[in-house]
Amino acid sequence: MQKFIIDSPLDMHLHLRDEDMLKLVAPHTSKTFAGALIMPNLVPPVTTKEALISYKNRILKACEGDTFIPYMTLFFQGNYSYEFLNDIKDEIIGIKLYPAGITTNSETGVSSMDVDVLRPTLEIMSKLNIPLCVHGETNGFVMDREKEFMPIYESLALNFPNLKIIMEHITTKDAVELLNKYDNLYATVTLHHLLITLDDVAGGALKPHLFCKPIAKRYEDKEALLQAALNAHPKLMFGSDSAPHPKHKKECCGCAAGVFTSPIALQVLTELFEKYEKLDNLNAFISLNAQKIYDFEPLNKKITLIKKEFEVPNIYEYKNENVVPMYAGEKLNWSIESIL
Amino acid sequence: MQKFIIDSPLDMHLHLRDEDMLKLVAPHTSKTFAGALIMPNLVPPVTTKEALISYKNRILKACEGDTFIPYMTLFFQGNYSYEFLNDIKDEIIGIKLYPAGITTNSETGVSSMDVDVLRPTLEIMSKLNIPLCVHGETNGFVMDREKEFMPIYESLALNFPNLKIIMEHITTKDAVELLNKYDNLYATVTLHHLLITLDDVAGGALKPHLFCKPIAKRYEDKEALLQAALNAHPKLMFGSDSAPHPKHKKECCGCAAGVFTSPIALQVLTELFEKYEKLDNLNAFISLNAQKIYDFEPLNKKITLIKKEFEVPNIYEYKNENVVPMYAGEKLNWSIESIL
């Protein structure tokens, strides 16, 4: 039976939440990934060293027994001092910037994306070599939000040439094209944005479990993202943006945004790269690119996938928490055989 | 307190379903409307005289005691004969054409929109002066489906100049513009498409109760529809497309398309036309235009609305059926005071 080995897979954009939901979802990443960049949008967001270390310890506890490193991020604020960032810099891999209110738990994000307003913090980050991770959406029409953010990315890239800027979970052809225009722009892309368009979310029946922010876009966008991923574009990293919400908050009258993909990401990526005969590029997309961009060496971990049917559970549960994964109840072509 | 009288309101696009759902929803239209054009997409669809008359009788029974006429339609099929249509023509107000699979219960619709394939039936309809009501969407990308259908409308309008063609539930600026291009093209527009865009459906939390087909589009589309309605464009009629589904089919992992607006349509339209100081045009939009386009005289019915708060129920129920209305639990500025 066909096998494929993934070397130290990294998920460079992950939501682990907290409390029981953390305990439910974290092992689904820590089991099969060597590390993950952890989003700081808790309630309240992670903005102090104490909160950061405490959250890291809760994550490590939830992942106990697994070879796994959570790469922590701070929630961007305009008033971080040089002293504070200098003191915390070895504890973090980057700082995540959210425009206020743009997605789950982002209410305390920045209210202005004006470069001059952001300048003090971004200059400190440049000096200290702390990467900036950005949720790049305006508050415009839902299908235009990322495209409208492109000039802001350009302005950031031009004004802070020594700052590594990561366009998180890109969803458009425009963002892929921008990657090639500025040396200091990088990006993550999710699994689901390589697979779905708005048609999958709302073209037939409405699918709340595929509803996410940024929303899935057009076919030409998906195609551009897919080609960049399959060809292991050196500035593009895998970041699942796996974002669990309990079932009752997805199947209701006002469904929360987020797709839970952690337990299926490696299997589906293997299937996808195999389908396009690009398996040779998968390790770059899922690990090596991130190592180079962020300049770190992850724990050594080898995941052997085998071409054997895997039926995705309908739901994952822990105590009172639950979450429905992408492809719930469906069959995948690849399974995880062993983890070393 | 401010009052406004609507004269014989007509809903020129309505789904009443069947069985208990029919009994639940029909009175919410028959109480306040003088008549409604009834969609034929039952399971199986209404394609025979027996089915049509039987359905009409079930509707009349569900509306017992109300001054109300259900204007019946047949489900378009390519093989209707002259004899059949000539025999049934006094029982129907039009024939509804669905591309196969395009919306709820449309699986047996036409598989080709090729004019030459449709020609035999459409020529008979032209001769017998039976209007054609069309669900105008291609099976393309969800945001483009109506726009892509415009050349098909043009081809129908050009090939059958004596056929009245109604573009049902239009949702785009393109469709509004097409109205002015061909004498024999008319349209209905829903309440919700005058009020919402895709942002309301999927821009914040995902709102299954606002999910409909055609899906709500962009701001410029909503604005074009709103201006046409407010100005009582003589070729545009109100058609709610009120389309009930039980709550469990809306708040689930694959939500059905349709917004239930029957109980709130008159109140919200009055509020909307008042807001834009166009109340003088409301009777044309909601009754007179349809009378002229379809050439009929409805029952005389006067609905007096009063500017007094009305709290929309969270749910309407009958036996095992239920349905959540648009604006569930919210407050409207206008109430229905009396019906004569």
Q: Which structural domain, as residue segments, surrounds residue B136?
A: 9-302
Amino acid of residue B245: H
Task: Give residue B36's pLDDT band: very low, low, confident or very high (50, 70, 90).
Answer: very high
Integer Cα distance of A53 and B200 in angstroms: 39
List binding-site positions of A for substrate. Answer: 15-17, 41, 135, 245, 257
| Residue B141, in any domain of the structure | yes
Domain count, chain B: 1
- Look over chain B and give the mean of its residue pLDDT values, rounded to a whole number: 97
Q: Which residues face B165 on adjacent strands? A: B132, B185
Instruction: Taking residues A284-300, report their average pLDDT.
Output: 98
Is there a contact between B206 and A206 if contact means CB atoms under 8 Å apart? yes
Instruction: Taking residues A30-49, report their average pLDDT.
Output: 98
By Cβ distance, the residue of A141, A207, A257 closest to B199 is A141
Integer Cα distance of A161 and A61 in angstroms: 38
Is there a contact between A257 and B203 if contact means CB atoms under 8 Å apart? no
Taking CA atoms, B139 is separated from A143, B100, B272, in Å, by 19, 9, 32
Task: Give residue A269's pLDDT band: very low, low, confident or very high (50, 70, 90).
Answer: very high
Integer Cα distance of B11 and B93 in angstroms: 13
- Supply the pLDDT for residue B74: 98
The catalytic position among A18, A241, A280, A295 is A241
Structure tokens at B223: 């604005």
- pLDDT score of B104 more than 90: no
pLDDT in tens, B70-85: 999 999 999 999 999 9
> A143, A209, A253: best mutation site toward chain B, by most B Cβ within 10 Å?
A253
Task: Give residue A102's pLDDT band: very low, low, confident or very high (50, 70, 90).
Answer: confident
Is there a contact between B206 and A255 if contact means CB atoms under 8 Å apart? yes
DSSP state of B276: T
- Can you give the CATH number for the domain in which B85 is found? 3.20.20.140
pLDDT in tens, A140-168: 999 999 999 999 999 999 999 999 999 99
Amino acid of residue B84: F
A161 by Cβ neighbours in 10 Å (0-12 / 13-18 / 19+) ranks as: exposed
Task: Give residue B201's pLDDT band: very low, low, confident or very high (50, 70, 90).
Answer: very high
Asked if A66 is an active-site residue, the reply is: no
Per DSSP, the three-state class of B244 is coil
Integer Cα distance of B134 and B183 in angstroms: 16
pLDDT in tens, B309-329: 999 999 999 999 999 999 999
Instruction: Taking residues A166-190, report their average pLDDT.
Output: 98
Structure tokens at B61: 């029974």
| Residue B328, in any domain of the structure | no
| Residue B186, in any domain of the structure | yes
- pLDDT score of B271 more than 90: yes
| Residue B340, in any domain of the structure | no
Task: Give residue A104's pLDDT band: very low, low, confident or very high (50, 70, 90).
Answer: confident
The alpha-carbon gap from A90 to the nearest alpha carbon of chain B, in Å, equals 36
Is there a contact between B197 and A141 if contact means CB atoms under 8 Å apart? yes
Instruction: Taking residues B150-168, report their average pLDDT.
Output: 98
pLDDT in tens, B227-263: 999 999 999 999 999 999 999 999 999 999 999 999 9
Q: For strand A165-167 and strand A69-75, is the pairing parallel, antiparallel, or unpaired?
A: unpaired
Structure tokens at A14: 């992950």
The alpha-carbon gap from B189 to the nearest alpha carbon of chain A, in Å, equals 20
Is there a contact between A143 and B324 if contact means CB atoms under 8 Å apart? no
> Taken in order A262, A268, A273, A279, is the CA torsion positive or negative?
positive
- pLDDT score of B289 more than 90: yes
Count chain A–chain B contacts defined by CB atoms under 8 A: 79
Q: Which residues of B touch A259 (CB under 8 A)?
A: none
Integer Cα distance of A152 and B226 in angstroms: 33
Structure tokens at B262: 């029957």
pLDDT in tens, A203-246: 999 999 999 999 999 999 999 999 999 999 999 999 999 999 99
